[in-house]
C-alpha cells in the first residue's frame, strides 16, 4: 500500500521541487530562456497533483499513514521553496511580507494541528472551505510568479503578485478561524 498511486503522486510533487529550483536559477541567469515558464508550469502540475492525490486516496480506498504525513509536507515544501525563490529575485517589501505571512502561518497552523492531534482534537482544526480557497489562490499566484513572462499582453507576474497577496490575507483569516476553533482547548487549564 505504501507505493500506491496517491503516494506516488505525492512523491512526484516532492521530487518536482528541486527541478523547479534548478529551472528558476537557470531563468535568473538567462532571462530569455524558457526556464521560467517551464518552472511555472511544473509548479502548476505539482499543485494539481495536490488535490488529485487526496481525492484518489479517498476514492480508491488507498489512504495510508505515509500519505497522510507526506501530503502536507509536500505542500509546505512546495510553497516555502517557491516563496524563497521569488523573494530572492524580487526582494521588495510587499513580496517579503507576503512570503513571511504565508510561511509563518504555515508553521503556526502545522504546530497547532500537531498539538490538537496530540490531545485528540485534530478534527476541530480540519481544513476549512476558506483554507481550500486560499490554497487555490496561493498555488495559482505562485505559479504565475514563477512563470514570470507576460502572455498575450497579460501581466502574468503582476497577476501572480495580487493573487498571492490576496492568498496571504486569506491565510491570516483562515488562521484566525483555526485559532478560534482551537481556543477552548488552548485556554483550558492543563
Domain locations in the chain as residue ranges: 5-186
**What confidence tens digit (pLDDT) does each residue in 131-164 have?**
889 999 999 999 999 999 999 999 999 999 999 9
Q: What is the CATH number of domain 5-186?
A: 1.20.120.1760
d(CA 98, CA 96): 5
**What confidence tens digit (pLDDT) does each residue in 112-138 have?**
999 998 888 888 888 788 888 999 999
Helices 93-118, 65-89: crossing angle, 10 deg rounding:
160
What does pTM read for this prediction? Answer: 0.93
Q: What are phi and psi of 154, to 5 degrees?
A: -80, 130
**What confidence tens digit (pLDDT) does each residue in 15-52 have?**
999 999 999 999 999 988 999 999 999 999 999 998 89
Amino acid at each position: 500500500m505504501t507505493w500506491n498511486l496517491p503516494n506516488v503522486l505525492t512523491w512526484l510533487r516532492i521530487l518536482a521541487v528541486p527541478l523547479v529550483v534548478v529551472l528558476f536559477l537557470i531563468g535568473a541567469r538567462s532571462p530569455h530562456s524558457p526556464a521560467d515558464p517551464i518552472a511555472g508550469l511544473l509548479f502548476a502540475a505539482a499543485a494539481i497533483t495536490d488535490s488529485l492525490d487526496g481525492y484518489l486516496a479517498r476514492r480508491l480506498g488507498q489512504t495510508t499513514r505515509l500519505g497522510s504525513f507526506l501530503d502536507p509536507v509536500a505542500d509546505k515544501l512546495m510553497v516555502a521553496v517557491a516563496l524563497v525563490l521569488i523573494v530572492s529575485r524580487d526582494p521588495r517589501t510587499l513580496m517579503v511580507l507576503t512570503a513571511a505571512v504565508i510561511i509563518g502561518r504555515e508553521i503556526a497552523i502545522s504546530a497547532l494541528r500537531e498539538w490538537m492531534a496530540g490531545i485528540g482534537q485534530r478534527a476541530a482544526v480540519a481544513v476549512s472551505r476558506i483554507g481550500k480557497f486560499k490554497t487555490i489562490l496561493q498555488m495559482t499566484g505562485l505559479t504565475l510568479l514563477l512563470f514570470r513572462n507576460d502572455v498575450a499582453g497579460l501581466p502574468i507576474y503582476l497577476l501572480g503578485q495580487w493573487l498571492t497577496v490576496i492568498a496571504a490575507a486569506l491565510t491570516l483569516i483562515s488562521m484566525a478561524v483555526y485559532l478560534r476553533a482551537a481556543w477552548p482547548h488552548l485556554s483550558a487549564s492543563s
